[in-house]
Structure 1
C-alpha cells in the first residue's frame, strides 16, 4: 500500500491533550506506527484507552467525550478510579480483570460508570492485555455506552421474546412468528432453516461454558449478517438455531443455507488465548399444505438437519414431503 502525505486542517492535526506520543519533530519524521495510532485515537468513533498500573496512559478522543472530558481536560495520566462509582466497584473490577487475564480470557461485562459531571451510565467494557505473555502489564480498554440497550433488555416484553445468551429471538418468539405463516393463504413462499453446530459439545468440554456462550453470541451476530433484515434468526436451544425466511422459496432457501454453512465453516472464535473453529449442519424446509402445524414445520427442518449430520456434517439437506432428501448441489 502506498502511503500519501497531505495537508490537514487544524482540527485533524491537533495534538490530543496529554498525548504522550506527541513530538516536536516534523510530521514527516514521525514514526509511521505512532502516526497511525494517533490518527486512530483522534478520528475513530470508538472509545479506546490504553491502561497501565491503574492509570490511563493514552485515550482516544471518543473515550474522553464518553466520560465528559474534552479539549480543556484529558483522562490521559489520570487514575482509572475516576470513572468508577465507588472505591469498592473499582477494586472489584481490578480483581475480576486480573482473574480473567490470568485465565487467558478477556474481560467483557457491563459496568456502571460515572462521567466527569457526576452523571452515571452503563458501559460495556471489553478489556484485553496488549501482550498476553504479560497479562499484568498494559491493557486495552474499549467502552461502549449500553444504557439504552440495557434498559430495553430489562423490559419484561424483551426478556419474554429473546434468548439471554445470544440476544436473538427465543424459541417461543420464533414459533409465534412462524405460526403467522403456517396455513396462510397469502400465497407467498416461506422457508425455514434449522442449524445445528457440529460437535459443539467438544467446544464446551475443551473451553468451558463461558467461552461457549461468547462463541454462541458471536455466531448469532454473524448469522444476522448473512440474511435479510426481514428474516428472523433465533436460538432455539443449546447450539440449535433457526432462521425464518418470508417470501423465500426452497430454491433460494437452499442458496441461503449454503451461504450460511460456508460462513460458519469460515468463522473463527477468538476469545483471549482461546481459538477454535466449527462447522454446521443445516436442514431446509419450505412451508407446504402437508405441514399443517408449527411443530410439523420445525420437525421437517430438524429431520433434514439430522440427515445432514448423519452424512458427516458440514452439509445441507432439504426436506421433501414424500419422505426423501436432496443434498444441495455443490
Structure 2
C-alpha cells in the first residue's frame, strides 16, 4: 500500500477513505495550499510514482511543466472557487521521468464557504482523446461543446438510410430541452455548456453502441436508431425523457434540473429526404412542447401524432 494512504484508525470515515483511495480506479488528490496532502494510488501511478515514493507532501509545482504554468493554474483555480465554480480544464503535466501528458483536471474546494482551503483534484489522462479532437477529421464531424456528432455528420449518417431499399426499420428521435434558456439566463453560458456536455454523455449511456447521438444546435439533440421501428423507439424515447427529468447538474454552487420534449419518427417512403425526416421529428417534438413539455409524441403522418404520455 502506498504511503500516501492515511495511517490506520478506528474512524470509519477514514477507513472508507483509505479503501476508496486504494481500490478506486480514479486519480484523486487532496490539496492544501499548493501542496499534495493525500493522493490515491492511481494518482501516483499517473505521474510515475509507486510504493517506494509518492506525491503526498510534495508541492503541486512538481507536476507542472513550468513555474508560469503552475502559478497561472493556481490563480485560475482561486478565481473559479471564489466565484462558486469548480475548475475544469485540460492541462499539460509532467511525469516523474520527464515525459509529458495532457490531463483533464476537475478541482473543487471541499467547503464552498472556505474556497481558499483544502481542495479535491480529480485527474483523467486525455492525451489520446485530445490528439483525436485536434485532427481536422474529428473537428469536422463533432460538436465542440458536447463532443457528440454535429449536425453535418448526423445528416450524413441519416442520409445513408433515407431512401435505402434495405428492409431494416430506422427511427430518429428529436430532443428539445424544455426552458433551457432559463438555465443559461440564470447561471450563465459556461454552466449551460457544462450542462449540455453532461446531458450528452447521459444520452449516450441510454442507447446502443450502434446508435448515433448528435447535438444539432443549441439545446436540440437527435438520435439515430438503426434497426429500430417506431414502437421500440417510443420505449427508448420514454426512457430518455425520464432520464432527463432525473438528471441533475451539480457545477460548483450551481444546482439545476430540466425536462425534455421528444419527437419520434420512423423513416418510410413518404419521407424521402433527410430534411423531411428531421422536419417530421421536429414537428412531433413541437407538438410535445405545445402539450406542456416533458412528454413524447410520435409522428404518424402529416398533421397526425401519436401521444406517449410523460
TM-score by length of structure 1 reads 0.92
Is it true that 1:165 corresponds to 2:145 in the alignment? yes
Is the 2:271–2:277 contact (alpha carbons within 8 Å) kept by the matching residues of 1? yes
Match of 2:257 among 242, 254, 277: 277
Contact 2:27–2:40 (CA under 8 A) maintained in structure 1? yes
Q: Which moved more, 1:83-92 or 1:316-325?
A: 316-325
Partner of 2:11: 31
Alpha-carbon shift at residue 281 of structure 1 (Å): 0.5
- Deviation of 1:69 after TM superposition, in Å, equals 1.0
The answer as to 2:267 corresponding to 1:287 is yes
Q: Which residue of 2 aligns with 1:189?
A: 169
2:281 aligns to what? 301
Q: Distance in 2 between matches of 1:18 and 1:138?
A: 16
1:101 to 68, 74, 81: 81
Whichever of the two has the greater Rg, that structure is 1
> Could you tell me how far apart the structure 1 residues matched to 2:194 and 2:43 are?
25
Once residues 85 and 279 of structure 1 are traced to their aligned partners in structure 2, the CA distance between those partners, rounded to angstroms, is 43
1:175 aligned onto 2:155: yes
Counterpart in the other structure of 1:47 = 27
Distance in 2 (alpha carbons) for counterparts of 1:246 and 1:74: 49
- 1:160 partner SS: helix
Contact 2:86 2:108 in 1 (8 A): yes
Query: What is the CA–CA distance in structure 1 between the aligned matches of 2:22 and 2:256, rounded to whole Å?
Result: 34
CA deviations 1:111-139 (Å, max 9, x no partner) are 00000111000000000001111110000
CA RMSD across the alignment: 1.0
Partner deviation per Cα, 1:170-202 (whole Å, 9 max, x = no partner): 000000000000000101111000000000000
2:303 is the alignment partner of 1:317: no
State the SS of the aligned residue for 2:25. Answer: coil
Q: How many Å separate the matches in 1 of 2:112 and 2:309?
A: 44
1:30 deviates by 1.9
For 2:290 and 2:116, how far apart are their aligned partners in 1?
47
User: Number of aligned pairs?
Assistant: 310
Answer yes or no: is the 8 Å Cα contact 2:178–2:260 preserved in 1. Answer: yes
> If the length of structure 2 is used for normalisation, what is the TM-score?
0.98
Over residues 40-84 of structure 1, what are the superposed CA-to-partner deviations in whole Å (9 max), with x where a residue is unaligned?
A: 111211110000010000001111110111122111001000000
Note the alpha carbon deviations across 1:279-321, whole angstroms, 9 max, x for none: 0011111101110100000000001111111111111111122
> What's the secondary structure of 1:320's corresponding residue?
strand
Deviation at 1:322, TM superposition (A): 4.2
2: CA distance, partners of 1:78 / 1:188:
59
Q: In the aligned structure 2, how far is the partner of 1:255 from the partner of 1:170? A: 25
2:72 matched residue in structure 1: 92
Separation in 2 of the partners of 1:136 and 1:303? Answer: 50
* Structure 1 position 31, deviation (Å): 1.3
**Structure 1 unaligned blocks of 5 or more:** 1-13, 24-28
Which residue of the partner structure matches residue 214 of structure 1?
194
Corresponding residue of 1:26? none
Decide which of 209, 223, 237 is 1:257's aligned counterpart.
237
Structure 1 runs of 4+ with >2 Å offset = none
> Structure 2, unaligned stretches of length 5 or more?
none
Residue 138 of structure 1 pairs with residue 118 of structure 2: yes
Q: Distance in 2 between matches of 1:18 and 1:174?
A: 47
1:18 deviation in Å? 4.8
Q: How does 1:146-157 map to 2 (within 5 A)?
A: 146-157=126-137
Match of residue 37 from structure 2: 57
| CA–CA distance in structure 2, aligned partners of residues 329 and 221 of structure 1 | 25
